[in-house]
Each structure stands twice: as structure tokens, then as C-alpha cells.
Amino acid sequence: MLTESSVFGERDDQGTRDASVGIARVSVADAAALLPLRTPVVFTDASDAWPLHRYATPEYFRRVHGMHRVRVHGQECTLAALIERLERATPDDPGPYPCKFEIAKALRGLLPEVTPRFACSLPDRQGNPLIPQRLFGAVNNLEIFFGAAGGRFPYLHYDVMHLHAWIVPLYGAKEFTLYAPDQAAFLYPDPDVPWQSSVRNHHDPDFVRYPLLRNARAQRVVLHAGETLFLPAGWWHTARSLTFTISVAFDQLGADNWSAFVADVVAELNRNGAPAKARLLGMYLRALGPLLRACEFLGGNRSSYWGRR
């Protein structure tokens, strides 16, 4: 049964226009029908198989992982101290955000707690040995986020290299503001970092400085603990924590976003002044695409384990 998330009126208090179409909230049983549509979807039960789904609380992280040392905005502290600081925060003084850590590197003991990977988020090509792994140097493939009430993501963006995004709040509530790829003309993409908007203070924007932003059609959805937001490649988004939140996020590369991924790889090399390398790597990756598709037809790239990344 399909239901819709709340969708706001024609204009919000910031002046941007809200889209008139809701975001479906469905079971993972509906994934095969909805994911090919390339629109955002909220899955109500995707994370049920994760052990962490049952006990992802601040108390659990203080007790089990509290002495683990983490680095936030250049400063090192224990995870317990960070959680205490975020719990003391207020919406007017929310503390640092985002506080995010690569699970495979910073909190590797959590890997069994967020396994198995959702079957609906496969296949994923990122770990395939035929793809140069250096291409994913800017991708934190599996992250955990901690945030205080009022914490706001610092920029509007889509996931780098046109990867699909999967976002799983496990504690608390988060509001996401989404823009379809066709809204990019109103979002002021940064020429040097094209997957990020150059709009500053995008949660309370200066419409004199960014007048086109008034024409952007936004969708908003509030995610609660245990829900999962699927964001297809190229969907712009940002978020704010409505309460203390603990979330997990990861990316996906498959056949449907492969061409956009290759185009981004080539464009990045060209921006960095390596046109010959861009041309050769682009040719290799485009030729590799059909081989990977055949591999996936036979069940490849479908491991439910996260591996080293």
C-alpha cells in the first residue's frame, strides 16, 4: 500500500516553491516496482534486519563505543564526550554538525551491526576489482552521523559522482529538503564543485543574492527512526535534525547511474587538467559497463557484506 509523506503548500516561509507530488512510504516488498522510477522513496522496514535497528540509542553508544576517540572539526574527543555535548545542545546552539565517521575506518566494530546490506540497494559496483578504487577517494561509502536538535547540514548537494544515496535514521527525527535534478538551474551549482550549491546559508537564503532560488521546487519529508530514504542519483538534498539523531548513510553505483558516474569521472579529470587521462579512462569505463551488467545478470556485485569500504 502506497502512502505519501507530508508535502507543504505552494510556497514555504523561505519563498521557495514546494512540489505538489508526495514521496511514497512503502515496504521493501515494493522496491522492485518503485526504484526504477528514479524518484525518492521512503522504505518503512528496510533496516529491520540490522541488529543496530533495535538499540541505536545515545546510551548504547556511550556504553559500548563511548571510549572510542573521534575527530570532529579538527578536534579529538571520545564519542561519549561528543554525545554528551550534543545532548546538551539547543536548537539555537546545536553544536557541530555533521559529526560523521566512516564506519569501516573509525568504528569498524559496528559493521556487523549494520549487516546485511539491504538487498534492494544492490547491485553495487563500487567494490568491483575492475574499477580503479582511487576513483572513490572522495566517497565515504558507509557513514554514521550524530547530530543535535537544530543541527543543519552545511550545504545543498547531490551525492558525488552521481551515486545513489541511502539514508537511515536509527534514532530521532530528521527533515530533508529535496530538489529534483531538473531544478539545478535554480540552485547555483558551484562551477568548481558541481555537485554542491554555491548558495550560502541555504536554510535561510538571501534571495537578493540568489533570486533564482525562489523558483526552485522543493519537496520536504521528515524521517523517523527505522525509516530509510532512497535518493536517486542527481537529487539535490540537505537536512536538519529535529531532535538528537543517529543516522547511517551509504551510496550505490549500478547500471542505471553508470553513465552519469563515468561522465563525472571524465569531467573531474578534465577540470584537473588531465584531458588525455580523462579520454582513456572514459573509454575504459564505458567499455566496462556492458561487462559489469552481464556479471550482475549472473548475480555479481550483490554481496550483502560491506567489505573494506
For residue range 131-156, what is the model confidence (pLDDT) as tens digits?
999 999 888 789 999 999 999 999 99
Q: Which band of pLDDT confidence, cut at 50, 70 and 90, is reported for residue 97?
A: confident
Mean local confidence (pLDDT), 119-130: 95
**pLDDT of 126 over the 90 cut:** yes
Mean local confidence (pLDDT), 98-103: 92
Q: 207-223: per-residue pLDDT in tens?
A: 999 999 999 999 999 99
Query: Would you state the cell numbers that stand for residue 24, as one nine-digit string?
Result: 511514497
pLDDT at res. 308: 61
Mean local confidence (pLDDT), 83-104: 91
The mean pLDDT of the chain is: 91
In a domain, 270, yes or no: yes
Domain that residue 148 falls in: 3-297
Q: Is the dihedral of CA 81, 86, 92, 96 positive or negative?
A: positive
Mean local confidence (pLDDT), 42-64: 96
- The CATH number that applies at residue 103 is 2.60.120.650
pLDDT at res. 232: 98
Mean local confidence (pLDDT), 63-76: 92
Distance CA 71, CA 79 (A): 9
In a domain, 241, yes or no: yes
Query: Would you state the cell numbers that stand for residue 133, as one nine-digit string?
Result: 578504487
Distance CA 113, CA 101 (A): 15
pLDDT at res. 5: 39
Q: Which band of pLDDT confidence, cut at 50, 70 and 90, is reported for residue 91?
A: confident
In a domain, 74, yes or no: yes
In a domain, 235, yes or no: yes
Mean local confidence (pLDDT), 259-271: 97
Q: 282-306: per-residue pLDDT in tens?
A: 999 999 999 999 999 999 999 999 8
In a domain, 303, yes or no: no
In a domain, 305, yes or no: no
Q: For the chain, how many structural domains are there in total?
A: 1
**pLDDT of 62 over the 90 cut:** yes
In a domain, 13, yes or no: yes
Higher-confidence residue of 208 and 21: namely: 208
C-alpha distances out from residue 4 to 42, 94, 222, 239, Å: 9, 30, 11, 19
To the nearest 10 degrees (0 to 180), the angle between helices 58-65 and 79-88 is: 160
Q: Which band of pLDDT confidence, cut at 50, 70 and 90, is reported for residue 202?
A: confident
In a domain, 309, yes or no: no
